Copies of this chain bind each other. A is one copy, B any other.
Amino acid sequence: MPIEKGDFVLLDYTLRIKEENKVIDTTIREIAEKHEIKKERFEPRLVILGEGNIPKGLEDELIGMEEGSKKMIEVSPEKGFGKRDPKLVKVYSARLLANKGIIPRVGMEVEIEGKRGLVLSVGGGRVIVDLNHPLAGKTLIYEVKIVKVIKGINEKVKALLKRRLGDISDKTKVFIENEGKVLRLDFPFEVLNLSNLGQFLSLFLKDINKYLPNISVVRFVFEHVLKKSTEEGKEIKTEKGAIAKAEAQHQPTGGDNP
């Protein structure tokens, strides 16, 4: 079945800049190693067609492809990261940058006016910075493969969770209850120790709201089984000893007493 707007797709891709014939990104480890591209993880990437998270020229060409199929897609700057804007090549005084704690060198990435820029030249107290997107003005060539079209609601939930929480999603159980209206996610208790968990889950909730609109309630469950067997009694006792101090420190009433 051809892919259409709204579909969830796992995509393998390798991206190269046409003008320089240079590979700059890929989901495939072997290709990355060959081109010295460093990344935390190599796995197909979730693309939701129509989401607008990838360049329009790429998205347009994915529509109509089928699971397992491959394609080479050329994306013009207009449908990629835009044309280069000469006005975004700006001149700054070296002193101004120094005041911001930046000692510029050619080729360095700097952040100015909320944008990332590339230092093109330094000299005579002047610094020239290119604030264009690094891929602006480039023609892009994507070699893509539709690894999978995700169909089931449970799998869609898992995929959305994965892009917010990474591998934790593998340890999470997904349940759809109440005729599809309630989504329950069972996490290992340790996930509660993740910093910014609330923030990530809020983004996940917005995804659910947008892409799985039948779901009206999401329930996040963190379960902990307390160890009760006699064998482990000793271990627990030690833990309790350690806790006595922690308790004293965490008393909301503070202070040393009564």
Task: Encode A234-257 as 1/0 by CB contact (under 8 A) with B.
Answer: 001001100110111011111111
CB distance from A23 to the nearest CB of B (A): 12
Q: Contacts of A223 on B, CB cut-off 8 Å?
A: 217-220
CA of A53 to CA of B133 in the docked complex: distance in angstroms?
59
CA of A13 to CA of B205 in the docked complex: distance in angstroms?
46
Q: Evaluate whether A203 and B40 lie within 8 angstroms (CB atoms) in the complex, with A217-B225, A228-B213 already known.
A: no
Q: Evaluate whether A198 and B194 lie within 8 angstroms (CB atoms) in the complex, with A58-B258, A216-B226, A221-B220 already known.
A: yes
Check: A29 CB closer than 8 A to any chain B CB.
no
Main DSSP-derived SS at the A contact region: mixed
Check: A166 CB closer than 8 A to any chain B CB.
yes
CA of A52 to CA of B244 in the docked complex: distance in angstroms?
8
Say how many copies of this protein the assembly contains. Answer: 2
Q: Contacts of A246 on B, CB cut-off 8 Å?
A: 203
Cβ–Cβ contact A193 & B198, under 8 A:
yes
Cβ–Cβ contact B218 & A248, under 8 A:
no
CA of A239 to CA of B198 in the docked complex: distance in angstroms?
16
Q: Evaluate whether A133 and B256 lie within 8 angstroms (CB atoms) in the complex, with A53-B248, A164-B250 already known.
A: yes
Q: Contacts of A15 on B, CB cut-off 8 Å?
A: 257-258
Closest to A116 in B: B256
Q: Contacts of A227 on B, CB cut-off 8 Å?
A: 209
**CB-CB contacts below 8 Å: A194-220 with B:** 194-195, 197-201, 203, 205-206, 208-210, 213, 215-220
Kindly list 19 other residue pairs between chains A and B, CB separation below 8 angstroms, not including A134-B256, A191-B198, A193-B198. Answer: A11-B258, A15-B258, A25-B256, A41-B252, A53-B248, A54-B258, A55-B258, A81-B256, A163-B252, A192-B198, A192-B201, A195-B195, A197-B197, A203-B246, A216-B225, A217-B225, A217-B226, A218-B226, A221-B221
19 contacts between A and B (CB under 8 A): A25-B255, A25-B256, A25-B257, A25-B258, A40-B253, A53-B251, A133-B256, A163-B252, A164-B252, A192-B198, A195-B195, A197-B197, A205-B224, A209-B236, A216-B226, A217-B224, A218-B223, A219-B224, A220-B222
